[in-house]
Amino acid sequence: MNNPLLQDNVLPPFADIKAEHMVPALEQTLSDVRAGIEQITRAPSFNYQGVLKTREELEDRLQQVWSPIGHLNGVMNSPEIREAHSRGLELLTEYYTEVGQNPELFEAYRAVHESPEFADLEQAQKKVVENALRDFRLSGIDLPEAQQQRYSELAREISALNSKFNNNVLDATQAWRKDVSEEALKGVPETAKALMRQAAEREALEGYLLTLDAPCYLAIMTYCDDRELRREMYLAYGTRASDRGPNAGEFENSQVMQDLMTARREQSRLLGFDNYAELSVARKMARSADEVLQFLENLADRSKGPAKQEYATLCAFAREHNGPDTLEPWDTAYYSEKLKKAAFDISQEELRPYFPAPRVLEGMFEVVRRLFDVEIEKDDSMPVWHEDVLTFEIRRGGTTIARFYVDLYARQNKRGGAWMDDCRVRRTMLSGGLQLPVAYLTCNFSGPVGDDPALLSHDEVVTLFHEFGHSLHHMMTQVDAAAVSGINGVAWDAVELPSQFMENFCWQAESLAFISGHYQGGEALPEDMLEKLLKARNFNAAMMMVRQLEFALFDFRLHVEFDPAIDNQIAAVIEKVRQDVAVVRPPEEYAFQHGFSHIFGGGYAAGYYSYKWAEVLSADAFSKFLEDGIFNRQTGEKFLATILEKGGSEDAMDLFVAFRGREPEVEALLRQDGIAA
């Protein structure tokens, strides 16, 4: 079989890659990589080039095979790709666990670290060695053989459970659908209804097709006058993959979560940690689990009072406008939008015509040009996986320094949410050439309707800037060692700094002037609408703060406290957290945790706090731009040089201090959100 994944391609040949290519390509590449690792360990002496650069070359080839497999599983899911991806995860987990416990390879790294050569290495190279030695120890290199074997079994089990959790959520999301008449959609904007009608037509249905995909779900929850329909969708969404709701017991994640938490706890204890939260923090910017809990609880203490006041205002508004005496969770977004409209005379739907996707992209690229002196141009030579995908290159001084893909719109068999991932990492190859970084930027916005461009809500504009911040972190790096290049090797609780930093430009009059432009006439957002948008920025900010803290505290406390001997502990922990911080309490049948893919299916286990941690970093960093001017070139160049270009080559706190001149202060976030007194 002529396997495109085994060919030497600058970029993945997506049109040629089939599900049947995936596992054979991984098996062949892993066999080659294992042989190469064995050669490394048999060398008569060890140096950086022979050990670390050789391994980097081997594993970059492996990443070039795996990257398109993982990506296609997210954006073009099918039973065949899912099966291949699941098997691929097993193979990769087995390899990385095995190599993490390879005593000969560990000794080779230790020899490099203890050699006279180490003192002469570049900072990034030293960090690669130090991180690798840390990761060897966190992979169980010091454990007795029987415990090493058990660690390996647990790693495979955890990987399989992560995949199963995500598959269950995707299946549960796609299992619920409802064909409704136009009468049921009173209050829903025409743009959203057009997409629902388009979805129905694709399936030869008469009415309007409702699904649990984010654009549809949010449109109903925010605008639909039919309270019972809002309730129905709220419970369908909030009981996905659980033993409750309309698809009770199908694709259920209850046992998956229990098994996953049990395995994580055992794995962390094998390594000498009391709980998984301590193991998680060992690789992060936060210094201890206690520091994380204190950070979250401090924010909760500062935010809950203002959040209660906001909620009381919302309830009073609803009662005054013929709403229910008691607001239910499926009423909150609906009446919040109405209150926002009444208070500021602005709504997301009114803003959409001023944010056509092509104009927003152009404006976003202009922000980056002004900040970092780079040009972004279309690159139609890049192979794509779907006709919606856009492709670009970044140039500096006329030289191409990176490329990226943009996949903006929701569609069937595409995982929900928004994310950035790496396709290629910047590194110096053994041949001496430079491999340029390449990023995937994926969102799930409502697509174009008819001949009109996709019109984004301002919230979606913020999401796009967020993911582009991650992409810039990966692409603007000047580090040539793959393990700490771009987003690699960056402490997980600092990795959101560039993404949340970029969000700020969606709230500045100077940048909104060219990010916005009416899809028909091209005129920028009118001054009165701009003023209303900016005034409304912190609307219900404290309620949103405590909602995020609810997620973060649930995640972290669960990973600190979990004990498999305690029945129904996962539900008990989230209930206790809600008692402590929530102002909007869901009904008993709500089972949000069964769909919480960030912590049960992704990389945020005992790390969801990272969003708030990094929000503090980004708010504090952006306050420097507010002091100097948001497009001050010297400040932009300093942010580029100390944060974006450095990747994971230095400790995150050291890099922040290099930019800001001091450690971060939580007051910056509270001021930004209008919560600080």
Give the residue numbers marked as catalytic. 467
Amino acid at 88: G
Tokens of 303: 């935010």
Cα angle 303-307-310, degrees, rounded to a multiple of 5:
145
For residues 523 and 510, what is the distance between their CA atoms, to the nearest angstrom?
15
Neighbours of 430 (CB within 10 A): 12
The candidate with the shortest Cα–Cα distance to 499, out of 462, 461, 538, 468, is 468
Q: Are 87 and 424 in contact (CB under 8 A)?
A: no
The candidate with the shortest Cα–Cα distance to 332, out of 585, 553, 577, is 585
Collect all residues with Cβ–Cβ distance below 8 Å to 114 and sequence separation of at least 6.
Answer: none
Amino acid at 590: Y
Q: Are 489 and 648 in contact (CB under 8 A)?
A: yes
Collect all residues with Cβ–Cβ distance below 8 Å to 231 and sequence separation of at least 6.
Answer: 328, 330
DSSP E strand boundaries for 167-248: 177-180, 208-211
For residues 265 and 653, what is the distance between their CA atoms, to the nearest angstrom?
28
Task: Return the DSSP state at 643.
Answer: I
Sequence length of the chain is 677
Collect all residues with Cβ–Cβ distance below 8 Å to 138 and sequence separation of at least 6.
Answer: 271, 279, 282, 283
Neighbours of 219 (CB within 10 A): 25
Is the Cα dihedral 392, 396, 402, 408 positive or negative? negative
Q: Which helix (H) or strand (E) holds 94?
A: helix 79-100
Q: Are 15 and 426 in contact (CB under 8 A)?
A: no
- Here the contacts of 40-48 (C-beta below 8 Å, separation 24 or greater) are 40/105, 40/108, 41/102, 41/104, 41/105, 41/107, 41/108, 43/108, 45/111, 46/108, 46/111, 46/112, 46/115, 47/112, 47/115, 47/117, 48/112, 48/117, 48/118, 48/121, 48/125, 48/129
Q: Are 51 and 69 in contact (CB under 8 A)?
A: no
- Assign 3-class secondary structure to 18-71: CHHHHHHHHHHHHHHHHHHHHHHHCCCCCCHHHHHHHHHHHHHHHHHHHHHHHH
Place of tokens 């970044």: 394
The SS3 call for residue 8 is coil
Collect all residues with Cβ–Cβ distance below 8 Å to 505 and sequence separation of at least 6.
Answer: 364, 367, 465, 511, 515, 630
Residue 165 φ/ψ, nearest 5 degrees? -60, -50
